[in-house]
């Protein structure tokens, strides 16, 4: 049985969550959340998705509410996945 949490489905769920919670447009959400295959930096090729904090669309690593925003996105995506910050620029979405 194929994994129901394919990168494309996970990324779609996180983009939808970002549009709902952070009021991003589709374009902004696509710029901020993408599949590992589309990650030029290849930060986490084995993850289910990449979240780019440098776009300015998602909370910055330096924002006081940074972790709260990540948890809210995880919950809104509703997949039992979570965002793990790799560094101040990007985070990886993993299965929980």
* pLDDT tens digits in sequence order for the chain, 96 residues long: 345 689 999 999 999 999 999 999 999 999 999 999 999 889 999 999 999 999 999 999 999 999 999 999 999 999 999 999 999 999 999 998
Give the integer Cα–Cα distance in Å for 39 and 95. Answer: 18
Dihedral pair phi/psi, residue 88, rounded to 5°: -70, -15
In whole angstroms, give the CA distance from residue 48 to residue 46: 7
The pTM of the full predicted model, rounded to 2 decimals, is 0.92
- Compute the distance between CA of residue 1 and CA of residue 20 in angstroms, rounded to an integer: 31
């Amino acid at each position: 049985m194929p994994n129901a949490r394919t990168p494309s489905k996970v990324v779609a769920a996180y983009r939808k969550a970002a549009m709902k919670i952070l009021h991003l447009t589709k374009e902004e959400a696509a710029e901020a959340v993408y599949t590992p295959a589309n990650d030029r930096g290849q930060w986490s090729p084995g993850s289910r998705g990449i979240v780019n904090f440098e776009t300015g669309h998602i909370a910055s690593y330096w924002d006081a509410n940074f972790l709260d925003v990540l948890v809210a996105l995880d919950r809104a995506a509703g997949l039992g996945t979570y965002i793990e910050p790799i560094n101040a620029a990007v985070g990886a979405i993993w299965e929980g």
